[in-house]
Amino acid sequence: MAGRHESVLQTAPMPAAPEPFQTIAIIGNTRDARVVESLQVLAVHLHSRGRRVLVDAATSVDYREAKVERLAESELCAQADLLIAVGGDGSMLHAARLAAPRTIPVLGINRGRLGFLADIGPAELTTRVDEILAGRYVSDRRAMLQATLISPGVPDRHCNGLNDVVLQKWQTGRILDFETYIDGRYVNTHGGDGLVIATATGSTAYALSCGGPILYPGLDAVVLAPICPHTLSDRPIVVRSSSVIEVRLLDRPDSNGQVTCDGVSLGALSQGDRLIVEPAAENVTLLHPADHDYYRTLRSKLRWGRGDRTAPYPTSE
């Protein structure tokens, strides 16, 4: 019809969502040839995907055609938005200490032995990394512990750990005699080789060899597992993760202890000192493939179901 005007609604195309993880730091034990091989493959692949790749300046790995930027290890997480650790659980624990203060996630490529934390194998490295870069992953926040070693006349020493805080006898063949307190309440007097205080994440590490239980990673709980206790009734106990745990050595001749956090020495615990273990203010976020299954990991790493029955019984409809 003459004189009629039709209005046309035009919509502008929505801008594409930015791809996650544009700057990625990669670390690993470069004294291991298998780790170096995976680091090289990883750097080349990330470069081909248009990512900025950061590496530790203290290493001398040849990354071939990949363009990498070399920074001090302590500066990697200040610029990266993802940290990828290649190696075993030791490498993952180190990565957690680097990443937690900067609140960036950690992804693990397993070139170690067990690998409870690093769950991507070298054969699927590029495929799984592409899935992560496309945003297909499971984000898994894990609690950490803070250990404080208090000694008269010296500054307090602090360390955070993802797995555990361990008191063990040191430079002596004698057992350690020590007391434990939880939230200011006396718990027990122990005699043995030491004590493991583990997060749910660390329940599958040293604490497990002490007879401790396996805790699902999402549980807000901490395990106290005596190491080789002299008294058989001195058993592991599980307490809430918000608990403040204190350990004191008793006055005994030749009684020396050492405290470690995730295998890193915090210092000696002597008579008159106090070890305080409490929740850390920081957490670490681990990334897993989208099909991650914790129970499948347990079956694989602990070799469950390797007997006659390797699959669930069939169920009738």
Residue 260 known to bind ligand: no
- Active site (annotated) includes residue 89: yes
Nearest-angstrom CA–CA distance, 76 and 69: 10
**Tokens coding 110:** 């397993």
Residue 205 known to bind ligand: yes
CB atoms within 10 A of CB 92: 29
Torsion-angle region of 135 (φ positive above 0: left; ψ -120 to 50: alpha; else: beta): left
Nearest-angstrom CA–CA distance, 305 and 299: 7
Nearest-angstrom CA–CA distance, 190 and 237: 13
Residue 140 known to bind ligand: no
Note the residue count of the chain: 317
Q: What is the DSSP-derived secondary structure letter of residue 102?
A: G
Residue 207 known to bind ligand: yes
Residue 283 known to bind ligand: no
Nearest-angstrom CA–CA distance, 50 and 21: 11
Residue 313 known to bind ligand: no
| Catalytic site residue from 56, 89, 119, 140 | 89
Residue 254 known to bind ligand: no
What is the DSSP secondary-structure string of 223-240?
A: EEEEES-SSTT---EEEE
Sheet holding 257-261, edge to edge: 237-240, 221-227, 194-199, 164-169, 257-261, 264-269
Residue 94 known to bind ligand: yes
Residue 311 known to bind ligand: no
Residue 206 known to bind ligand: yes
Residue 174 known to bind ligand: yes
Q: How far is CA 258 from CA 89, 114, 261, 269, 273, in A?
A: 22, 26, 10, 6, 11
Residue 204 known to bind ligand: yes
Nearest-angstrom CA–CA distance, 125 and 52: 18
Residue 293 known to bind ligand: no
Residue with tokens 């502008």: 12
Return contacts of 219-225, CB within 8 angstroms, 24+ apart.
220/143, 222/145, 222/197, 222/198, 223/196, 223/197, 223/198, 223/199, 224/180, 224/195, 224/196, 224/197, 225/195, 225/196, 225/198
Q: Which residues are annotated as a binding site for NAD(+)?
A: 89-90, 94, 163-164, 174, 193, 204-209
Binding residues, as ranges, are: 89-90, 94, 163-164, 174, 193, 204-209
Residues belonging to the active site: 89
